[in-house]
Amino acid sequence: MTIFVAAHLPLFTLLVALVASRHLKIRRLFRLAVAFFLVAHGVLHARFQNNPAYEFSGFLSSSLIFGGAVLGTIYLVVEWTRRPVNGLEVKMLPIQILVHPLRLDAILLAVISIFSFTYAEAAEFHCPLGREVSTNLGQGVSMRTCIWEKEPSVFVRTGPLELIKNGILILKTQTDQAGKLHGTFTSWNDQGEIIENGNYVKGLKEGPWFKIDANGKREDLLFNGGSLVEQ
């Protein structure tokens, strides 16, 4: 996964250079290619978003995918209306007057940069064993973790585990090679505030924990071997 992500960074760098080229024909060709890609990319995601295996239902992913498709469509419409007719430029249409000040070419560059940042951010998730998998849990929540074939046909969830809701990280922890929770456990609310934090050891809560309820009240707890210790 890390190699796959890293390979995209020079690709995006080259793409940005091409769409900003001083050579008019190269610049226009690659801007049109990016716009077509954004539109086709959005159409394919719209086509498969109801598939149970679809893994891009988060707010951030949807905003990038379909926002890029909208910008790509606008760019193509503007380019189409600017085409010469009988050797003369056609009169500017209302849509050109509306979007021209926005510099759609600059917006396309911004979209490419955001995609590049998103790929770089994804590199932070690393599977020490097995491969990364994502599962759509419904209601905008997806789970990202690692699946390792411990023995032939015996698969174990191991390594980092994250829950993401509408593009926002809401839970992060680890699992050991037996598939049990092991390590720091942290969960956040929709506003990005920590609401629970503690530590697991081989599937059992261990040491100090704290929870914060919906009213902002904090509760400090202490566990020993999964059992709550009276304080």
CA atoms within 13 A on the CB side of 39: 13
**What is residue 161's predicted lDDT score, i.e. its pLDDT?**
92
List the single range of 67-76, 187-196, 200-209 with lowest mean pLDDT: 67-76
Beta bridge partners of residue 222, listed in sequence order: 208
pLDDT band at 168 (very low <50, low <70, confident <90, very high): confident
Q: What is the DSSP string of 101-149?
A: GG-HHHHHHHHHHHHHHHHHHHTT---SSSEEEEEEEETTEEEEEEEEE
Could you tell me the pTM of the whole model? 0.48
**What is residue 87's predicted lDDT score, i.e. its pLDDT?**
46
**What is residue 108's predicted lDDT score, i.e. its pLDDT?**
56
**What is residue 98's predicted lDDT score, i.e. its pLDDT?**
43
Mean of pLDDT values over 144-151? 88
Non-local CB neighbours of 200 within 8 Å, separated by 6+ positions: 173, 174, 180, 181, 182, 183, 185, 206
In this predicted structure, the answer to whether residue 166 has a pLDDT above a threshold of 60 is yes
Distance CA 110, CA 31 (A): 12
| DSSP classification of residue 61 | H
**What is residue 99's predicted lDDT score, i.e. its pLDDT?**
45
Type and span of the H or E element at 219 = strand 218-224
If one compares 202 and 52, the residue with the highest pLDDT of the two is: 202
Mean of pLDDT values over 204-230? 91
In this predicted structure, the answer to whether residue 104 has a pLDDT above a threshold of 60 is no
List the single range of 3-17, 53-67, 102-116 with lowest mean pLDDT: 102-116
In this predicted structure, the answer to whether residue 181 has a pLDDT above a threshold of 90 is yes
Mean of pLDDT values over 114-123? 48
| DSSP classification of residue 91 | P
Q: Among residues 87, 88, 89, 49, which one has the least CA distance to residue 66?
A: 49
**What is residue 23's predicted lDDT score, i.e. its pLDDT?**
75
Mean of pLDDT values over 149-166? 88
**What is residue 85's predicted lDDT score, i.e. its pLDDT?**
47
Residue 218, SS3 per DSSP: strand
Q: What is the DSSP string of 26-45?
A: HHHHHHHHHHHHHHHHHHHH
